[in-house]
A and B are shown apart, each in its own frame.
Chain A
Amino acid sequence: MSAPVLKLDDARATKAASVAEVVAFRAPKAPSPIAKRARRVLDWASTTLIPPLVVLALLLLFWELICSRPGSSLPPPSQVVTDTWELIIDPFYDRGGLDKGLFWHLLASLQRVAVGYAIAVVVGVALGVLVGQSTWAMRGLDPIFQILRTVPPLAWLPLSLAAFRDGQPSAIFVIFITSVWPIIINTAVGIRNIPTDYSNVAKVIRLNGFEYFTKIMIPAAAPYIFTGLRIGVGLSWLAIVAAEMLIGGVGIGFFIWDAWNSSNISDIILALVYVGVVGFILDRIVAFIANAVTRGTATA
């Protein structure tokens, strides 16, 4: 027990205590940038790529086993691939009429979704701002929205066919009416949740109505708006397939219906895969835009 005792006035003791042995720290050799990158790719693959692939392989195997028995009502995956090989390798063929490759069907559906969804975004954000801003608009409109939004997309189709007397605008209307509700409701919530602090800042520096809208309201509500947009794009993709089954013409929904009518079950399965992948990509696109736009906003 010979540790130096520190006293406030004892300079020598302080000095003695403050001398410590310096131990050299040997830095580990830095890995080369290429090795680092390869490492990162490997990490990414093992955490995000491998698990779903393994599960997918298991599911396919299971499916193959179940449906390979003679007399099964659905084809096994191997059968699906051989049946639809032509469609898979050439999505761009066009033999006129409705006999087109899957690319053209998907494109037609995406165009309808683009138009209907674009209208829904404009109308939805505008109505959402109105409802979020004005107590009276909220009291008047909100209950109506709450009821209308529960109406299933396809229930609107006969009505819109009656109104437009044409398949194309009816399909677009169904997309619009399906995806507009989450956009309205989320925008309204976002506007209503703008912190008083932000509007106080705007008042002190005297922003006018338009400046307040563009500089405070829209960026402050952006995370909410994008939540609505993301739900909306998913719903519109859900609705288009159903709507196209009924209205006919080029489109992935009709392709599925047509395949059913000609008992090409493998075609249906292939189309479902495409529908799922496209829906996933749409969702990711909106999520990506949301991330880019609302950078920093969500974490105030």
Chain B
Amino acid sequence: MSAQAFLSIQHVDKAFSRGGVTNEVLKDVSLDVHEGEYISIIGHSGCGKSTLLNIVAGLTGVTKGVVFLEGKVVDEPGPDRAVVFQNHSLLPWLTCYENVALAVDKVFARSKTKAERRDWTMRQIELVNMAHAKDRRPSEISGGMKQRIGIARALAMQPKVLLLDEPFGALDALTRTHLQDQVMQIQTELKNTVLMITHDVDEAVLLSDRIVMMTNGPSARIGEILEVPLERPRKRLELVSDRTYIAARAAVLKFLYERHRFVEAA
């Protein structure tokens, strides 16, 4: 490989063994992501999407292969690959502000003064429109608000890659739509490189530059990669009748429900 990509996943295999039984989850997965690109990984449940994300996050080790971020090998978790977890994972004993501040204070302990860190934390909370609830605890706010704080916490680390693990999966449809728009807007503004796990076809087409479609596990691999050449900023309502959008949507649906139909294990 000549010029190395910003984020490069190279020939990654992952197998879990327990009690002598080895279960191969990922087989020879390779993917190059450019800086500022929004990538969605889509596939049926159990295809190892989350495992792939955890490998990039450094939370799970690889069995074979390697992941490079800016030419450096990824072998442990770190704030340059911030994760937004599916179930928000805010610490319930801290307020929204404190949840974000915990990350900010740790990541910028040396590079920012106390006042700068406070401003930075507030700015992230304002970015996701949560300033009004900054002193509330996670148990006192709605699911969508929790996820917004989860996103603010991840953005606050100024990650090189933002990893989203089905970030809108647990939300109702209206909240999801709203948050998708917000993430899209933030991404346009900050030019983050994003890797998002999803199983929502519309979400993938709407948000991504490229959609990575995974085959069914075990031994899942990348089946196809679809480019979504839609102009940004994208408008949900206008896209409904857009030719490219419809074609992209159809391609993903075809992949998921025709060629790689989810077969329930007996």
Contacts of B79 in A (CB 8 A): 204-206
CB–CB B157/A201 < 8 A:
no
A200-B92 contact given A207-B106, A296-B139, CB 8 Å threshold: no
Tell me the count of chain B residues lying within 8 A, CB to CB, of chain A: 25
CB contacts under 8 Å to A, within B123-177, are 137-140, 157
A198 and B78 alpha carbons, distance in the complex (Å): 14
Contacts of A201 in B (CB 8 A): 85, 89, 91
Looking at the complex, which one of A198, A206, A211 makes contact with B77 (CB distance below 8 Å)?
A206
CB–CB B59/A203 < 8 A:
yes
Looking at the complex, which one of B77, B93, B107, B138 makes contact with A203 (CB distance below 8 Å)?
B77
A206 and B79 alpha carbons, distance in the complex (Å): 7
CB–CB B93/A219 < 8 A:
yes
Say whether B103 faces chain A, with CB atoms less than 8 Å apart.
yes
Interface centre among A197, A216, A222 (most CB of B within 10 A): A197
Looking at the complex, which one of B82, B93, B139, B140 makes contact with A222 (CB distance below 8 Å)?
B93
Looking at chain A's contact residues, is the secondary structure mostly helix, strand, loop, or mixed?
helix
CB–CB B138/A300 < 8 A:
yes
CB–CB A204/B57 < 8 A:
yes
Say whether A31 faces chain B, with CB atoms less than 8 Å apart.
no
CB–CB B107/A300 < 8 A:
no
Interface centre among A215, A216, A296, A297 (most CB of B within 10 A): A296
Interface centre among A207, A216, A300 (most CB of B within 10 A): A300
Residue of A nearest to B137 (CB): A296
Residue of B nearest to A297 (CB): B93
A297 and B93 alpha carbons, distance in the complex (Å): 5
0 or 1 for each of B25-50: is its CB under 8 Å from A? (1 = yes): 00000000000000000000000000
Contacts of A205 in B (CB 8 A): 79, 102-103, 106-107, 157
Residue of B nearest to A300 (CB): B92
Residue of A nearest to B159 (CB): A204
Say whether A4 faces chain B, with CB atoms less than 8 Å apart.
no
Interface centre among A195, A201, A295, A297 (most CB of B within 10 A): A201
Say whether B12 faces chain A, with CB atoms less than 8 Å apart.
no
Residue of A nearest to B82 (CB): A204
Say whether A299 faces chain B, with CB atoms less than 8 Å apart.
yes
Residue of B nearest to A197 (CB): B89
Residue of A nearest to B89 (CB): A197
A299-B92 contact given A200-B85, A204-B77, A206-B78, CB 8 Å threshold: yes
A88 and B59 alpha carbons, distance in the complex (Å): 65
Say whether B214 faces chain A, with CB atoms less than 8 Å apart.
no
A130 and B135 alpha carbons, distance in the complex (Å): 34
Say whether B87 faces chain A, with CB atoms less than 8 Å apart.
yes
A206 and B81 alpha carbons, distance in the complex (Å): 11
0 or 1 for each of B51-62: is its CB under 8 Å from A? (1 = yes): 000000111000
Say whether B83 faces chain A, with CB atoms less than 8 Å apart.
yes
A216-B57 contact given A204-B78, A299-B139, CB 8 Å threshold: no
CB–CB A198/B93 < 8 A:
no
Contacts of A215 in B (CB 8 A): 102
Contacts of A296 in B (CB 8 A): 92-93, 137-140
CB–CB B139/A211 < 8 A:
no
CB–CB A297/B77 < 8 A:
no
A206-B106 contact given A200-B59, A200-B83, CB 8 Å threshold: yes
A215 and B57 alpha carbons, distance in the complex (Å): 22
Say whether A294 faces chain B, with CB atoms less than 8 Å apart.
yes
Contacts of A299 in B (CB 8 A): 92, 139
Interface centre among A197, A205, A216, A296 (most CB of B within 10 A): A205
0 or 1 for each of A178-214: is its CB under 8 Å from B? (1 = yes): 0000000000000000010110110111110001000
CB contacts under 8 Å to A, within B78-115, are 78-79, 81-83, 85, 87, 89, 91-93, 102-103, 106-107
Task: Give me 9 other A-B pairs in contact (C-beta within 8 A), A204-B157, A296-B138, A299-B92 excluded.
Answer: A197-B85, A198-B89, A201-B85, A201-B91, A203-B58, A204-B77, A205-B106, A207-B106, A300-B138
13 contacts between A and B (CB under 8 A): A195-B89, A198-B91, A200-B77, A203-B76, A204-B57, A204-B59, A205-B79, A206-B77, A206-B107, A207-B106, A296-B92, A297-B93, A299-B92
